Amino acid sequence: MKSMLSSLAVAAALIAGSSIAAPAPSWTPPPDAQRCPSKWGAGDQRGSANHIKPASIVNAARLIKTGEIVEMGRVLSRSMPLSANRQYNILTKPMAPPAGTNRRTGNEELVVAEIGQVGTQFDGFAHQANGDSFYNCFKFDDIATRNGFTKLGIHNVGALFARGVLIDIAGYKGVPMLGDAYEISVADIEGALKKQNMTLQAGDAVILHTGWGRLWGTDNARYSRGNPGIGVKAAEWLIAKDPLLMGADTAPVEVNPNPDKQLSLPIHEMALAINGIHLLENLKLDEMAAKRVYEFAFIMQPLKLEGATGSTVVPIAVR
């Protein structure tokens, strides 16, 4: 009888424990009424790209002193890591038999891929939503079609020419590469900026070097399984600086998995859907960090893919 009572007590304790409410998530998206219309105006589709103005372009151009170009884009190839169920296939084919007395021949290719979301990629605002609500509260049922989105397509972004800032977090921590799922803190960002004698300005292309790109093409499984990056607090700190974009040498820019197991890639939603700030992923930053290219003219333009969620890109730094 005593044993039975003990068992019942244990069962009651387990039931009571299971009814305890889960802790509140570390971030909750604001309701539409609090975030719309965007600060750029009702109906705006460009978000942070509105920072690109003649004056800001001239200011960025003044950073060019030597004319040195450093490419930050990855080569698209079959050997690159791919997120989720994405694919990249290229088929080369001759255009036609030899023609003319000069026997001219030619070749072309068919690319089958999520061309907006492979390699070094630039996320547009149709890529992520809060439920069915995108940036500036455009709704999925109103803008989604089989042939692309009628609003928020990546073709709206245009050419980007801005001040770029590389924040070398790995260098600040004194390591070649941050650890798996290391969450970059506000203190890390502030410390790295202080070490580099840099400050952020509104409209900057803010790029974080974690060293994770060392795994690209050498350990794709580990590269794709998870990664260091910014968490909720660091993202909120950066977003408050009003950047043009946030980028990194990782697949999602943010720490993955998030330490808060209740959240699913919250920085994607926070940046793209809530605040209209672009993300730039899978950057090649080893040369940038080695040369200490911390401030530069950032130049990039997404492909004119009408209605697309993003674009593979090749950004460059010019100093």
Gap between the terminal Cα atoms of the chain: 82
Give residue 9's pLDDT: 53
Percent of the chain with pLDDT over 90: 92
* pLDDT tens digits, one per residue of 30-56: 999 999 999 999 999 999 999 999 999
* pLDDT tens digits, one per residue of 112-165: 999 999 999 999 999 999 999 999 999 999 999 999 999 999 999 999 999 999
What letter does residue 233 receive in the DSSP assignment? H
Give residue 232's pLDDT: 98
How many C-alpha atoms does 270 have within 13 Å on its Cβ side?
Answer: 24
- With beta carbons less than 8 A apart as the criterion, state whether 164 and 205 touch: yes
User: Per-residue confidence at 274, pLDDT binned at 50, 70, 90?
Assistant: very high
User: Residue 271 has which token pair?
Assistant: 């940046």
Give residue 180's pLDDT: 95
CA dist 177 → 213, 229, 235, 250, 288 (Å): 8, 11, 20, 11, 14
What are the structural domain ranges in the chain? Answer: 32-78+115-318
Give phi and psi for 122, each to the nearest 5: -115, 115
Give residue 19's pLDDT: 54
- CB burial of residue 267 (10 Å; 0-12, 13-18, 19+): buried
Determine how many CB atoms are found less than 10 A away from the CB of residue 166.
Answer: 29
Give residue 1's pLDDT: 45
Give residue 4's pLDDT: 46
Alpha carbon 201 to its chain's center: 19
CATH number among 3.40.50.300, 3.40.190.10, 3.50.30.50, 2.160.20.10, domain 32-78+115-318: 3.50.30.50
